[in-house]
Structure 1
Amino acid sequence: MWNCRILFPVAVIKMKDSVVIFGAGAVGRGFIARLLSASGLTPVFVETNAQLAQRLKEADGYIVHVTGAEKKECNVSGYKVFTPEQGEEISKALAKCLFTATAVGGRNLETVARIVAAGLSGASERRSRPLNILLCENWPDAEKVLAGALLAAGCTEENFACVRCSVERMVRGAENGLDLIAEGGQTFYVDRRTWKGEQGGVVCGVEGFTFTDKIEAIYARKLYTSNAGGAALAYFGYLSDCHFLYEALEISEIRKNLTELLNVAKQCLIESFGLDEAGLERHLDELLNRRFPNRDLADTVQRVARNPLRKLGSKERLAGLVHLLRNHALSTESVSCVIGAALHYRDPADAESLELGRIIAQQGAGAIMEDVCDFKRQETCFEECLEFYDYFL
Structure 2
Amino acid sequence: MSKKAVIIGAGNIGRGFIGQLMYEGGYDIVFIDVSDPLVDALNASGEYPLDIVSNRGSRRIIIKNVSAVNGKSADDAMRAIAGCDICVTCVGAKALKYIIPNLVGGIKLRLGDGGSGKPLNLLICENLMNADDYIRSLLETELTPDELAMVGLVETSVGRMVPLPDPETTKSDPLLARAEAYGVLPCDADAFVEDIPDIKNIIPVSPFDFIIRRKLYLHNMGHAVCAYLGMKSGYTYISEAIADPEIRIIVREAMTESAAALAKRFNQPLEELNDNTNDLIRRFGNRALRDTCARVGADIPRKLAASDRFSGAAASVLEAGGKPIFIAAGAAGALDRYMRDSAGAEYNAETAVVDAPAVLSSLAGETAAESPFGQYVLSLFSVLQYSCDLSDLIRAADELRENAGDAALS
Report the Cα offset of residue 278 of structure 1: 3.2
Q: Which residue of 2 is the match for residue 162 of structure 1?
A: 153
Equivalent position amino acid for 2:320 in 1: H
**1:36–1:43: 8 Å Cα contact kept in structure 2?**
yes
Deviations, residues 217-251 of structure 1 (Å, cap 9, x unaligned): 11111112211111111111111111111111122
Q: Which residue of 2 is the match for residue 370 of structure 1?
A: 361
- Aligned equivalents of 1:65 and 1:57: distance in 2? 20
Deviations, residues 155-177 of structure 1 (Å, cap 9, x unaligned): 53223121111110011336232
1:216 to 199, 209, 220: 209
Q: Which residue of 2 is the match for residue 178 of structure 1?
A: 175
Following superposition of structure 1 onto structure 2, how do residues 34-49 of structure 1 map, counting pairs within 5 Å?
34-49=20-35
Equivalent position amino acid for 2:356 in 1: A
- Aligned equivalents of 2:75 and 2:203: distance in 1? 32
**1:66–1:181: 8 Å Cα contact kept in structure 2?**
yes
Q: Which residue of 1 is the match for residue 44 of structure 2?
A: 58
Please report the TM-score for the alignment, with normalisation by the length of structure 2.
0.84
Q: Does 2:10 correspond to 1:24? A: yes
Report the Cα offset of residue 59 of structure 1: 2.1
**2:46–2:67: 8 Å Cα contact kept in structure 1?**
no
Distance 1:132 1:306, change over 3 A: same
Paired residue secondary structure (1:236):
helix
Length, aligned pairs only: 369
- Aligned equivalents of 1:296 and 1:19: distance in 2? 30
Paired residue secondary structure (1:171):
coil
Q: Which residue of 1 is the match for residue 260 of structure 2?
A: 267
Paired residue secondary structure (2:336):
coil
Report the Cα offset of residue 57 of structure 1: 1.5
Return the structure number with greater helix share: 2
User: Which moved further from structure 2: 163-172 or 70-79?
Assistant: 70-79
Paired residue secondary structure (1:138):
coil
- Aligned equivalents of 2:271 and 2:352: distance in 1? 45
Q: Which residue of 2 is the match for residue 3 of structure 1?
A: none
Report the Cα offset of residue 372 of structure 1: 2.7
Following superposition of structure 1 onto structure 2, how do residues 56-95 of structure 1 map, counting pairs within 5 Å?
56-68=42-54, 71-95=58-82
Q: Does 2:248 correspond to 1:248? A: no
- Aligned equivalents of 2:155 and 2:57: distance in 1? 28
User: Which moved further from structure 2: 112-121 or 225-234?
Assistant: 112-121
2:187 to 159, 166, 190: 190
Distance 1:378 1:78, change over 3 A: closer
Deviations, residues 351-382 of structure 1 (Å, cap 9, x unaligned): 8x97xx89x86981112333432455554322
Distance 1:86 1:151, change over 3 A: same
- Aligned equivalents of 1:266 and 1:121: distance in 2? 43
**1:187–1:210: 8 Å Cα contact kept in structure 2?**
yes
Following superposition of structure 1 onto structure 2, how do residues 311-390 of structure 1 map, counting pairs within 5 Å?
311-346=303-338, 364-374=355-365, 375-376=367-368, 378-390=370-382
Report the Cα offset of residue 70 of structure 1: 8.7
- Aligned equivalents of 2:338 and 2:130: distance in 1? 27
Equivalent position amino acid for 1:367 in 2: A
Q: Does 2:275 correspond to 1:285? A: no
**2:69–2:77: 8 Å Cα contact kept in structure 1?**
yes
Q: Does 2:101 correspond to 1:108? A: no
Deviations, residues 95-128 of structure 1 (Å, cap 9, x unaligned): 3311101000112212221101122334673132
User: Which moved further from structure 2: 126-135 or 86-95?
Assistant: 86-95
Report the Cα offset of residue 88 of structure 1: 3.6
Q: Does 2:107 correspond to 1:120? A: yes
Deviations, residues 37-69 of structure 1 (Å, cap 9, x unaligned): 112101111111222211212224211111247
Paired residue secondary structure (2:364):
coil
Identity of aligned residues (%): 24
Structure 1 regions of 5+ residues with no counterpart? 1-13
User: Which moved further from structure 2: 378-387 or 132-141?
Assistant: 378-387
2:129 to 128, 137, 140: 140
**1:189–1:212: 8 Å Cα contact kept in structure 2?**
yes
- Aligned equivalents of 2:338 and 2:136: distance in 1? 34
Structure 2 regions of 5+ residues with no counterpart? 386-410
**1:113–1:153: 8 Å Cα contact kept in structure 2?**
no
- Aligned equivalents of 2:210 and 2:363: distance in 1? 24
Q: Which residue of 2 is the match for residue 97 of structure 1?
A: 84
